[in-house]
Structure 1
Amino acid sequence: MSKPTPQTNDLSNIDLSPEDFNSSLPIKKVPYGDVFEAARAGDVDRLRYLLESGVNVNARDQWDSVALYYACLAGHLEAARMLLENGAICDEHTFDGDRCHYAALNLKVRKLLKAFEARPPPLGPLQAALRETFLGCTANRDILELSDSQLQFSGSSMLDGPNYNHFPPDIVFYVHGRPIEAHRVILSARSPYFKKKFETVWKDRREVRFSKEKLSYPALYSLLHFFYSDRLEVAVDDMEDLVRICSVCHCEALRRVVEKELNHQRFTDFKALREVDSSQRRFILQGLSLPEEDRLPAALHHILLLSLTNSSMEQDFGNVADSLVTSVGRLQIHEHEDDLADITVRVDGRVFRCHQVILASRSEYFKTRISRMADFLEVNDDLLSHALPCLEEHDLSHEAFEKMIEYMYTDGLKNVEPRQAEELFDAASRYLLFPLKRAVADALLPHLEMASPSELCHWLLLADMYGVLKIREYCLDAMACNFETFADTREFQAMLLTLPPPSGDSSLRTTAPSAPGAGGHSDQGNILDDLREKWLEIEAAELDERDESALLFDKRLDMLMQTAEQEQDMSDSID
C-alpha cells in the first residue's frame, strides 16, 4: 500500500508539508505488537495490518489510554493520522480527545488533531442510513444542535432541501413536553423493554408521554440516537441518567460500558480543564466497543429472520405447505413473536413481510414507492393474516430478493451462490442499492479462487458491465499472472472479439497505471489496456523495457484475435 500524502482535501487547511510527517522520534518495528505498541513505536505497517483486521481503534489498555494518545505523545504524525482516518476520537471536551490534545508532543500533532476533531468517525452504510432517517424526523432535527460538518457526514447532505422529505415516524415520545420521534421496529429490535411495551400497553398508541421528573430528555435522546446509529454521543453530566435508562431498557452491555466510563470520569483529575465548564465534556462510544450481538446489524438480523418465518403464512396457497416444512424450525422458535411488519412485498409468487423504515432508509427506490402508496391496500382471500400495504416487484427471483433484504437489514451477506451474483448485481442497480455490489463481491471472491479460466472471462465481462471493481481487478490480476494459460482458451479468445481494442497510447506504457474505474463505472478504463499494464508490471518491471514489451503484448493479442475470428468464421460457415 502506497504511503498517503498529507495534501488531501481533508487536510488542506492545516499547513503541514510532507516533511512534517517525518517522525519526531525513532520509529521501531513491532511485528507482533498490539495496536498500542504499534502506535507508540510509530510502526505504520503493523498499525495498518491491525486496523484492516478490524481492531477497535478506540479501545483502551490497562491504563485507560487509547492508541491515538500514544501516537500523539511520541509525535508519530503518520501513525496518528492513520488512526484518525480510521475513526479515532480526538474531539476536545471528550476525555480521550483532551488527553491527546494536551499530550501532543509538538504543534504539528495539535494541527493534525484540529483538522480531524470536527469530523465524526465514519459509520457503516446501514448505520449512516438509519441515522439520517432519525435526524430527518422534524422534532429530532429541530432539537439537535449539530454543526454543518456533522450534518454533512450523516449521508448525502441533509442540509439540502429535498432530504427534508424524511420517512415519517410511527411513535412520538414526550419528555417534559419535548418530543422525540422514532420507529417501533428499531426500538423493539434494540431493547426488550420497548419490544414488550409495543406488544402490550403501547400497541395502538401513536404518542407516549412520560411524566417522571427524573427522566432526562438528553439521556433518552442519546439512547434512541444510539439505537439507530450504533454511535453514542452524550454529555458527561447526563451519563448518570443514561445508566438508569439503560437499566430500565435492559441494554446491559451498553449500561456496563457507560457505567465504567462514568466511574472513570468521576475519579479522573481534569487538571487541564478546571477553567472549562464541565457541561461541555462529552463521551463518544462507537458500536464496535460492544459485543457483536449488541450492535445494530445483529438486532435487525433477528427481526429479519422473524419476518421471513412469518412471511410463510402470507404466501400463495400452492407454496404454503412447502414453506412451512422448510421454516418449521424457525416457527417453533418465533411463533409467538410479533415481527412488527408494516408492508409486504410480492416477488416471484412469494410474499415477504418487511418494514417500511428499513426499505425506505436503504433504497431511494423503495422510499419513492412507499411515499406514493398512501391508502393502498391489496386484500386477497388467500392471505392468511391481516392485510398490509403491498408492493409487487417483477423480473426478480424470490431467492435474490431475500438476499437483497438480508443486506438491507444487516449490511452483510452469507452463502451467496455464484449463480445468484449476476441477478444481485442487476438488483443493486435497479433498486439504487449500489453498496450491495461490494457485499456480493466480497462473498463471491472465495468462489473465484477455484474458478476456471473460462469462468473468470465471464466474471470479468460481468464485473466490467456492472462496475464491480473488486471482481474486475481480481480477474485482471489472474489473467496477467497466467496470461498464456488464458490465451490458450477459446473463451478468452472469444472475449477479445467483444472488447474494444487496446488504445495504443504509448504514454500508458511508461507511467504507473491508475486503478481501473477509479472515477466510477462511466470512467472505467479499457479492459485490454488495463490487462496490458498489469502484465507489464509482472513481466517488464524496468521502465526502459516497457515500450518493447508492450509492443510484444499487442502483437500477441492481434494473433489471438485473428485466431478467434477464423474460428468464428468457420463456425458460421458450418452453421
Structure 2
Amino acid sequence: MPPNRPSSGWIIDPDLDEIDLDPSDFTSSLPLKKVPNGDVFQASRAGDVERLKYLLESGVNVNARDQWDSVALYYACLAGHLDAARMLLESGAICSEHTFDGDRCHYAALNLKVRKLLKAFEARPPPLAPLQAALRDTFLSCEANRVYLEQSEAIYHVSGLSSSGVSNANHFPPDVVFFVQGRPIEAHRVILSARSPFFKRKFKTDWRGRSEVRLAREKLSYPALYSLVHFFYSDRLEIAVDDMEDLVRICKGLSLPEEDRLPAALHRVLQSSLARSTMQQNLENDVDRLVSSFDVVHMNDCVDDLADICVRVDNKIFRCHQVVLASRSEYFRARLSHMKDFHEGKVGLPSDAVPCFEEHDLSMEAFEKMVEYMYTDGLKDINPGQAEEMFDAASRYLLFPLKRAVADVLLPQLEMVSPAELCHWLILSDMYGVIKIREYCLDTIACNFETFADTRDFRAMLLTVPPPSGDSSLRTTAPSAPGAALNTDQGNLLDDLREKWLEAEAADLDKRDESALLFDKRLEMLMLVAKKESETVVDDIQDSPA
C-alpha cells in the first residue's frame, strides 16, 4: 500500500528500499510544462504535477487508456518526469513487470532513476479503497495496534508499510481488547462480528458485555491473530512467512467466509440495523404488527445488531455504529469524540436505549443513502432529484468521496436528458465541484454546440456564469513563463467549454488562438440574444393583466 499522503503535498516515502536517489535526480529529463486544462495523459507527459494532483484527487482513473492504448504512467516514464511518475504510482498505477502496462513503462523509462522508481513500487500492493483505508486507519490509530506495527520488523518487511501517516486525529476508542501472550489487540465488536460468525457468536454468549478478553497462550500466536484482525479491517493480509502456519490454524477454527469482503459484510450489518430501526419506529408508533415479511424473517438477526448510537433524522430513528460513522467522516468523529451521553432525540425512547442525537436540515432519504455509502463504499441507485441534497450533505459531513459515488450512479441517467436539464446539471456540478458530471456536461455541449446554441435555456445560462476570461495563457497550447505561478482553482466554465470545443473541432494548433477568439465572439452574440429574450419576458410579465 502506498504511504499515507499529508494534505500539504505529495512526498516520496523515505523508506522505499533500494531506490538510491539524490535530490538532483528529481530534475526532469524533459522540460516541465503547465497544462491548466489538460487531461491526465497531457499532465503526465508535461510533468505538471499540480494539474495531475488535481485530476487524481477528483477521481480520475489512474489506469485509464487513451486512444493509443497508453496509460498516464507510460507518458510520465517516457518523458522522464520522476515526480509525476511517483504521484501516479502512489495512486495505484500498474507497474508490475510481465503485465502489458508494466512492461511498457519499464521499457519506455527514459533513464535509470525512473526504472529504480518503478522497481521500488513494483512489489507494492495497490492502494486500499476508501472504506478499507478508513477502517485500517481506525485500527492502527489504537495505541496498542500502532505500537506493535512500529515494533514489528517482520510485518514491516512483508508489507512495506509504516504507521507514521496514522495520527491520533483518526483515533476512535476500541470497545474490546484481546490479550494474547500478554500483549493487547484493540478492536471494535461490530467489525469482528461482521467479518466472522465465530466472533459474532462469542460476543452474544461467552464474551457478552466484556471489554477485555484473555485468550489462552498455547492456542494462539499474537502476530497471527493481529494479522487476522487487521485483515478484518482492511481486506489486506500482511503477515510474516514464519507466522503463516499459525494463521491458517486460526482461520480453520473460525470458519471464515471464503469470498466475503468488508463492504459486503458491513452491508449485511447495515441491512440488519435499518430493519431494526424500522421495527423500533413501528413500536414507537404503537403498531401492533410488523409491516413486512422481511421484518419477520430477519427479526431474530436484528435482535442484537451491536448498534451503539441512534441518529434521529426527520422523525425517523436510525440505528448505527459509532466506529463506522467516525471512520468515514471527520464530522461524526469529532461529534462522537467530544460528546457523551447523548440525550438529543431520545424523547419517546426507552430509558435503556443507546445514546441518540439529532441531525437537522436533512431528509431521512438522503441520510439513508449517506449511511449506505459509509457502510459499503457505493450506492445502488439514486433519484436525480436527491442529487443536490446529497452533494450538499457530502460537503456538510466532510464526506467528499460521496460526491463521486453519486456522480457514478447519475452519469448513465444523464445520457437521455434534455439540453435544458444538462445545463442545470452543469451549473449544479460546477457549484459543488463534482468533476465527473461537470466534465461530462462540458464534453456533451462542446460536441453538440450548435444544437445547444439554438436552445433558449443554454442562452439563458450564459447570463448566469462569468464571461470567458479571454486570457490566452490559460489555454493548453500556450507556454507558461518560467517560474510562473499556476492558478489551481477550478477553471472558468466558459474557458473550459472553449477548450472542449477546440478539441472537438480538432482545430490546428497554430490557429487555436484565432479559433478561440471566434468562439468568444459567438458567445457574445448568444449572450446579446439572451439579454433581449430576458427583457422580452420581463415586458410580457409587466404588460400582462393583474
TM-score scaled by length of structure 1: 0.72
- Does the CA-based 8 Å contact 2:95-2:122 persist in structure 1? no
How far apart in 1 are the matches of 2:488 and 2:320?
A: 34
Partner of 1:405: 371
Q: Within 1, Cα distance between the matches of 2:108 and 2:130?
A: 23
Identify the residue that residue 36 of structure 1 maps to in structure 2.
none
Local SS of the residue matching 1:498: coil
Task: Report matched runs for 1:165-564 at 5 Å.
Answer: 166-253=171-258, 291=259, 294-315=260-281, 321=287, 324-325=290-291, 327-337=292-302, 338-377=304-343, 380=346, 382-383=348-349, 386-509=352-475, 511=477, 523-564=489-530
Q: Which of 98, 104, 117 in structure 2 is aligned with 1:70?
A: 98
Q: Deviations over 1:1-39 (max 9, x none)?
A: xxxxxxx975993859869xxxxxxxxxxxxxxxxxxxx
Q: 1:158 aligns with which of 148, 166, 186?
A: 166
Aligned partner of 2:21 among 10, 13, 16: 13
| 8 Å contact from structure 1 (residues 413, 439) kept in 2 | yes
The alpha-carbon deviation at position 570 of structure 1 amounts to 2.0
Question: SS of the counterpart of 2:98?
Answer: helix
AA matched with 1:448: L
AA paired with 1:190? R
2:300 partner amino acid = E
* Ranges in structure 1 where 5+ consecutive residues have no aligned partner: 1-7, 20-42, 50-65, 83-105, 254-290
Question: Which secondary structure does the structure 2 equivalent of 1:315 belong to?
Answer: helix
Aligned-pair CA distance for 1:528:
0.4
Query: For 1:552 and 1:416, how far apart are their aligned partners in 2?
Result: 40
Higher RCO (CA-CA < 8 Å; seq separation 6+): 2
Query: What is the CA distance between 1:367 and its match in structure 2?
Result: 0.7
Instruction: Say whether the 8 Å CA contact 2:194–2:200 is kept in structure 1.
Output: yes
Q: Provide the C-alpha distance between the structure 1 equivalents of 2:399 and 2:288, rounded to a whole number of angstroms.
A: 31
The alpha carbon displacement at 1:572 in A equals 2.0
Name the CA shift for 1:322/1:309 in 2 (closer, same or farther; >3 Å). Answer: farther
For 1:167, what is the secondary structure of its paired residue?
coil
User: Alpha-carbon deviation of 1:451?
Assistant: 0.9
**How far apart, CA to CA, are the structure 2 residues paired with 1:195 and 1:343?**
19
AA in 1 matched with 2:175: D
Q: Deviations over 1:251-270 (max 9, x none)?
A: 152xxxxxxxxxxxxxxxxx
CA separation in 1, counterparts of 2:491 and 2:114? 39
8 Å Cα contact 1:379-1:387 kept in structure 2 = no
Q: Following superposition of structure 1 onto structure 2, how do residues 101-120 of structure 1 map, counting pairs within 5 Å?
A: 111-116=116-121
1:571 aligns with one of 523, 537, 540:
537
| C-alpha spacing 1:331/1:78, structure 2 compared with 1 (3 Å) | farther
Aligned counterpart, 1:286? none
Counterpart CA distance in 2 for 1:307 and 1:320 is: 20
CA contact (8 A) 2:277 2:318 kept: yes
State the AA in 2 paired with 1:353: R
Change (3 A) 1:175 1:149: closer
Change (3 A) 1:565 1:351: same
Q: Contact 1:350–1:398 (CA<8 Å) still a contact in 2?
A: yes
CA distance in 1, matches of 2:206, 2:345: 28
1:574 positional shift: 2.9
TM-score (norm 2): 0.75
Tell me by how many angstroms 1:384 deviates: 6.5
Q: Which amino acid aligns with 2:269?
A: I
The alpha carbon displacement at 1:493 in A equals 1.1
Cα distance in 2 for partners of 1:513, 1:443 equals 38
Code of the residue aligned with 1:175 in structure 2: it is: V
Q: Is the 8 Å Cα contact of residues 137 and 169 (structure 1) preserved in structure 2? A: yes
- The alpha carbon displacement at 1:309 in A equals 0.3
Change (3 A) 1:336 1:504: closer
SS in structure 2 of the partner of residue 375 of structure 1: coil
Spell out, residue by residue over 1:170-227, the C-alpha distance to the aligned partner (whole angstroms, 9 max, x if none). Answer: 0000001111000000000000000000011111111100124131000000000000
Equivalent residue, structure 1, for 2:137? 132
Moved more, 137-146 or 489-498: 137-146
Structure 1 residues 48 and 295 mapped into 2: Cα distance closer, same or farther (>3 Å)?
Answer: farther
Question: Offset at 1:333?
Answer: 2.9
Cα–Cα, structure 1 residues 149 and 501, in superposed 2: closer, same or farther, change >3 Å? farther
C-alpha distance 569-551 of structure 1, shift in aligned 2 (>3 A): same
Q: CA deviation at 1:330?
A: 4.5
Q: How far has the Cα of 1:537 moved from its partner?
A: 1.2
Q: Distance in 2 between matches of 1:469 and 1:323?
A: 47
* 3-state SS in 2 of match to 1:225: helix
Over aligned residues, Cα RMSD in angstroms?
Answer: 3.6
Q: Distance in 1 between matches of 2:429 and 2:501?
A: 19
Number of residue equivalences: 455
Q: Secondary structure at the match of 1:351?
A: strand
Superposed CA offset, 1:505-533 (max 9, x none):
1334571799xxxx999711000010011
Q: For the structure 1 residues 444 and 107, does the alpha-carbon distance in structure 2 shift closer, same or farther, using more than 3 Å as the test?
A: same
Deviates more, 1:545-554 or 1:359-368: 545-554
Residues 1:322 and 1:574: Cα distance change in structure 2 (over 3 Å): farther
- The Cα shift of 1:388 comes to 1.0
